[in-house]
Structure 1
Amino acid sequence: MSEPVTPLGKVIRRNAERLVREALADTRVVLVNGARQSGKSTLTALIASGHENSLTRNLDRPDVLAAAQEDPNTFVKHPGLLVIDEIQYAPGLLLPIKYQVDTDPRPGRFLLTGSARVLGLKSLPDALPGRMETIELWPFSQGELEGAVDGFVDSVFRLADSPLPALPGDSRRALALRIVRGGFPEAIARSDPRRRRRFLGSYVNTLIERDIRDLADISKPADLKRLLQIVAARTGQLLVAANMASELSVSARTVQRYLDLCEEIFLIKRIPAWSGNLATRAVATPKVACVDSGIAAYLLGLDENRLATGGDLFGPLLEGFVLMELSRQLSWAEEDIRLFHYRTRDQVEVDAVLETADGRVAGVEVKASATVRSEDFRGLRLLERQTGDAFAAGVVLYTGDQSLSFGPRLKALPISALWRMRF
């Protein structure tokens, strides 16, 4: 069988495809949720093509949306797999879907897509508890772009018991290209940097003018775009709403509302703080990152050359890039793994902390340098002392090309380990 193609070229297979197929085999409703233009429609079309009696309805079409709103009960009646694109535009369909799957509880009845965190929207009814599985689809990971399943978040927990991997390193310029390119299919398809920036600009403006206004009444869209620029410049830093409010001359409450909206439509992601004390985690300050590094670079006016040769912003954008690559991998990791950051009152920090459901911990520190020193492991050593036997490994990801050991559980690896390391 020939590879499927789209107007953007050959389809790049998604690591989430296996998850969706598995979910449809034993779950009545499956929701693929993620940012606009991240490839949800392409993925669901590919999956639907393998079902004999599938039907797709896209709520982006005004006529289809009108039918869904006028007669939702008839709209959701279909004996086979019914794919509904952009379900957030017609939340009134969820109760009829619930009735359908309660009447006929066969798995694989509905495959939904959404461009907002559907179950977090207050306008929705009690939705589909126990009947629906949600799978997040992010922009492309680096492994997907290279035709591989990125395995770092699983492999790091086995690193201490395995030989050091021999991994090619990416130069600073090659990493800068990965960052400014981002992972949206439309951006990847555009080899001309100028055309890529035009797409990213249009994408951000559309989200602000359309999607966010669908969720809330925003009187000053320019403030929201300025907030996104501040977030991009502070990628990987602590999220302090009061400081952002001062820069924007608005209230901290307004900033918090804007941040909630941006996270709702997958523009930003907040990384919670890790602590051995579960109560402390709930109130600690999160970090923030742009979901797509290409958008972050666009908001800051950076192209590949400026980012590679500039000093101040390469480090923060590289950290944000790593945080979001880790976030993508959590979707298809073999284990249930959560992502945090770690920071003490004495300003000792670890950029990313991965924790398994049974309490094992791995730390990841990101360095924009081509050399690594013992001092770069300061935060990881503190985390190791605090967690004891639960500490699986600590890794400094850096822009060099050597895999090095700094102790039984402390390693330095090239950034490319994120998408090339797997045990």
Structure 2
Amino acid sequence: MITRSHLHSVEEALRHQAGVVLLGPRQVGKTTLAQDIADSRDAVYLDMERAADRQVLEEPDLYLDEQAGRLVVIDEVQLMPDLFKALRGQIDRRRRQGHRTGQFLLLGSASDSLLHQSAESLAGRVSYHELTPFTLTETGAEAQTPLWLRGGFPESFLAADDRASLRWREDFIRTYLERDIPAFGLRIPSETLRRFWTMLAHEQGGLLNAAKLAGNLGVSGQSVARYLDLLVDLMLVRRLPPWHANAGKRLVKSPKVFIRDAGLAHSLLGIGTQEALLGHPVVGGSWEGFCIENLIAAAPRGSEASFYRSAAGAEIDLLLKLPGGALWAIEIKRTTAPKVTRGFHIAAAELDATERLLVYAGDRGVPGQGGLRAMPLEAAMTRLAAA
């Protein structure tokens, strides 16, 4: 049993807020986490994919009034967007009755409609939490290689072997394209979206070139933007923005794009074993994306992520601006040599970075020049979490 690091933060939020919205892609473990929380208190669980549960909420106030004082867990809440207005009224009414915290736990596969409806109706009444696939903190450093290869979706990571893991991910992708995305009311041919998703996997960590993608797909630039927005909204793709605060520098303006779960990227590319991954051209971009997702997950809540690249060649793979304003410059290299390029030092000096880290494939921390510290991924995550 792997304990999710979000368990404590969601329980803590429920002690201080009327409700929590827990977002994440399908099959990431939201329901399991919610049921763990519900088992420890007086709670009721409703799944909006079940017709019987949807029928219960056709007159939401009648049902929810009876549940006052209990935690109401509503799964796949985006399937009933009209429910948010009723929830707002319920929260306000319960506050007046003295039930101020721990009332609702709402689970959603992060669609644009969910974010829009909840932001419109529940502002100031709920806190938002993102449940990612397993991170290295949750699995332990000894599982770093299988976590990188298989990704962090529980069924994939915990599969009996690599072949079973790959088969699960292939089924997951097919189901998402053929059933889940159409369920959001989006009419995009599944084969076209799969080709687009696979193209992004081939360019893992590269700068977005919308014109090239549009040309290869035979669609318009607007269609490419729509496809990318969809995969970002569903938390399957990360669009890492460029740093933009240095107005006096000529900086790259295109975002970097990553398939957020390395295991899904490998499945889209037909990579099923560690040997195949290490021999594939995408290995560097895959490792960078894997590290970036883990580092962002470890960073304090409210941190802002970006990258830095100037026209002169100064570059930083990941910039994290922490809530207090501290700027962490992080270079990521799949190498055992703890060295960074001169461009990293130039960029870190230009930005006056508070911390300068190299995440590399070695197994120990090594001090470097210019305030740089080289360390394994897990050590960098621990350092970030303590910031």
**TM-score in same-fold range (> 0.5):** yes
> Are 1:88 and 2:78 matched, yes or no?
yes
Question: Deviation of residue 384 (structure 1)?
Answer: 2.3
Give the share of equivalent positions with the same residue, in percent. Answer: 31
**AA partner of residue 242 (structure 1):** A
2:236 maps to 1:270? no
The answer to whether the 8 Å contact 1:273/1:281 transfers is no
Are residue 205 (structure 1) and residue 205 (structure 2) matched?
no
Aligned to 1:382: 346
Task: Give the letter aligned to residue 62 of structure 1.
Answer: A
Deviations for 1:25-51, whole angstroms, at most 9, x for unmatched residues? 111111111111111111111111121
Change (3 A) 1:410 1:419: closer
Confirm whether residue 393 of structure 1 aligns to residue 330 of structure 2.
Answer: no
Q: 1:75 to 1:210 in 2, by over 3 A?
A: farther
SS of aligned partner of 1:369:
coil
Are positions 1:191 and 2:160 aligned together?
Answer: yes
CA contact (8 A) 2:295 2:381 kept: no
CA contact 1:23–1:133 (8 Å) conserved in 2: yes
Q: Alpha-carbon deviations, 1:81-120, whole Å to 9, x = none?
A: 1111110111111111111111111111111111124666
Structure 2 vs 1, CA of residues 216 and 90 (structure 1 numbering), >3 Å: closer, same or farther?
closer
Offset at residue 283 of structure 1 (A) = 9.8
- Matched residue type, 2:64: V
Q: 2:308 aligns with which of 324, 328, 342?
A: 342
1:410 to 372, 380, 383: 372
1:375-413 CA distances to partner (integer Å, 9 max, x unpaired)? x2323212222123xx22222222233432222521222
Q: Please give the per-residue CA displacement for 1:303-341, whole angstroms capped at 9, x wherever unaligned.
A: 2234444152110100110111122223xx2x6421111
SS in structure 2 at match of 1:135? strand
Change (3 A) 1:316 1:86: same
Q: Does 1:286 align with 2:255?
A: yes
Contact 1:215 / 1:261 at 8 angstroms: preserved in 2? no
Distance 1:142 1:281, change over 3 A: farther
- Residues 137 and 175 (structure 1 numbering): CA distance in 2 closer, same or farther, change over 3 Å? closer
Provide the residue aligned with 2:122 in structure 1: 128
Quickly say closer, same or farther: Cα 1:219–1:19, change in 2 above 3 A. closer
Distance 2:145 2:277 in 1: 5
Tell me the residue number matched to 1:61: 50
Cα drift, residue 72 of structure 1: 2.7
Cα 1:196–1:39 shift into 2, 3 Å: same
Distance 1:363 1:266 in 2: 24
Shift of 1:415: 3.5
- Counterpart-to-counterpart distance in 2, 1:309 and 1:119: 39
The residue type equivalent to 1:359 in the other structure is: G
| Alignment RMSD | 2.5
Name the amino acid aligned to 2:193: L
- Aligned to 1:350, what secondary structure does the other structure show? strand
1:299 to 252, 268, 272: 268
Residue 158 of structure 1: aligned partner? none
Distance 2:250 2:138 in 1: 32
The more displaced of 378-387 and 238-247 is 378-387
Match of 1:114 in 2: 108
Measured after TM superposition, the shift of residue 288 of structure 1 is: 1.3
| Alpha-carbon contact 2:231-2:237 (below 8 Å) kept | yes
The residue number in structure 2 matching 1:320 is 289
Change (3 A) 1:418 1:183: farther
Residue 214 of structure 2 corresponds to residue 220 of structure 1: no
Give the C-alpha shift of residue 234 in structure 1: 1.4
* 2:94 aligned residue (72, 91, 104): 104
Structure 2: state its 5+ residue gaps. none
Q: Which structure has more RCO (C-alpha within 8 Å, separation ≥ 6)?
A: 1
Q: How much has 1:281 moved relative to structure 2?
A: 12
Whole-angstrom CA distance in 1 between matches of 2:378 and 2:188:
43
Decide which of 46, 54, 60 is 1:72's aligned counterpart: 60
Q: Gapped runs of 5+ residues in structure 1?
A: 1-9, 147-167
Amino acid at match of 2:7: E
Q: Which residue does 1:368 correspond to in 2? A: 334
2:213 corresponds to 1:244: yes
CA distance in structure 1 between the aligned counterparts of 2:221 and 2:27, rounded to whole angstroms:
31
Cα displacement (A) at 1:214: 2.5
- In the alignment, does 2:322 pair up with 1:356? yes
Q: Residues 176 and 304 of structure 1 are in contact (CA less than 8 Å); yes or no, is this contact kept in structure 2?
A: no
Q: 1:295 to 1:47 in 2, by over 3 A?
A: same
Letter in 2 for 1:55: V
Q: Say if 2:151 and 2:263, in contact at 8 Å, map to a contact too.
A: yes
2:131 corresponding residue in structure 1 = 137
2:244 equivalent to 1:255: no
Distance 1:280 1:130, change over 3 A: farther
Task: Tell me the secondary structure at the aligned position of residue 266 of structure 1.
Answer: coil
C-alpha separation between the residues in 2 aligned to 1:143 and 1:24? Answer: 23
Deviates more, 1:107-116 or 1:358-367: 358-367
Q: Distance in 2 between matches of 1:264 and 1:405?
A: 39
Distance 1:217 1:119 in 2: 11
1:154 is matched with none
**Alpha-carbon distance in structure 2 between the residues aligned to 1:299 and 1:309:** 16
Contact 2:239 2:256 in 1 (8 A): yes
Report the 3-state secondary structure (helix = DSSP H, G, I; strand = E; otherwise coil) of the residue aligned with 1:91.
Answer: coil
Stretch deviating more after TM superposition (412-421 or 378-387): 412-421
